[in-house]
Amino acid sequence: MYSQINYLIMATWQCVKQCGACCHLDERDRPDLDQYLLPDELALYLSMVGADGWCVNYDSVARECRIYADRPRFCRVEAEVFADMYGIEPEELNDFAIECCEDQITGVYGDLSLEMLRFEGAVGINLDLPPKL
Ligand code: SF4
Ligand code: SF4
């Protein structure tokens, strides 16, 4: 039986250029921020939320981060960061990151959006679809 888990086993997380879904920071969509951000990080996070809900560092025309090399810790999909923030073990990072991106892309663009198609294609989810019966 195929399931979401079967798809994820074959998928490898990567960030897709010109997506930016996780740069939509509106704190009303993330009510549990204080559970995984340190107090100074929470203050920084809130200072980055623009009036439209997008990060003030997000270039909405180029669809990329203006401060990518210097972006905050909580913007980084790295094993050490995810272990600290979410208690995720390194071997769980791939599937967890894929689910995070899917949730974020769904919330910002929709689950049938071009961004979702691009993401799933890039990470390999659609390459492992079961044969039609
Ligand atoms: S949601 Fe995922 S794919 Fe999209 S910009 Fe963020 S990390 Fe990259
Ligand atoms: S700092 Fe950059 S990567 Fe982080 S949310 Fe803002 S635009 Fe996105």
| Model pLDDT for residues 14-37, shown as the tens digit of each residue | 999 999 999 999 999 999 999 999
Residue 101 domain-assigned?
yes
pLDDT band at 10 (very low <50, low <70, confident <90, very high): confident
Tally of domains within the chain: 1
Residue 133 domain-assigned?
no
Residue 103, pLDDT score: 96
Nearest ligand (C-alpha, residue 15): 1
* Residue 104 and residue 94 in contact, taking contact as beta carbons nearer than 8 Å: no
Is the distance from the beta carbon of residue 21 to the nearest atom of ligand 1 less than 6 Å? yes
| Model pLDDT for residues 79-129, shown as the tens digit of each residue | 999 999 999 999 999 999 999 999 999 999 999 999 999 999 999 986 555
What count of residues does the chain have? 133
> Domain range spanning residue 52?
4-128
Residue 100, pLDDT score: 96
20's CB contacts (< 8 A; 6+ apart) are 58, 60, 63, 64
Instruction: Measure 37 CA to ligand 2 centroid, in angstroms.
Output: 15
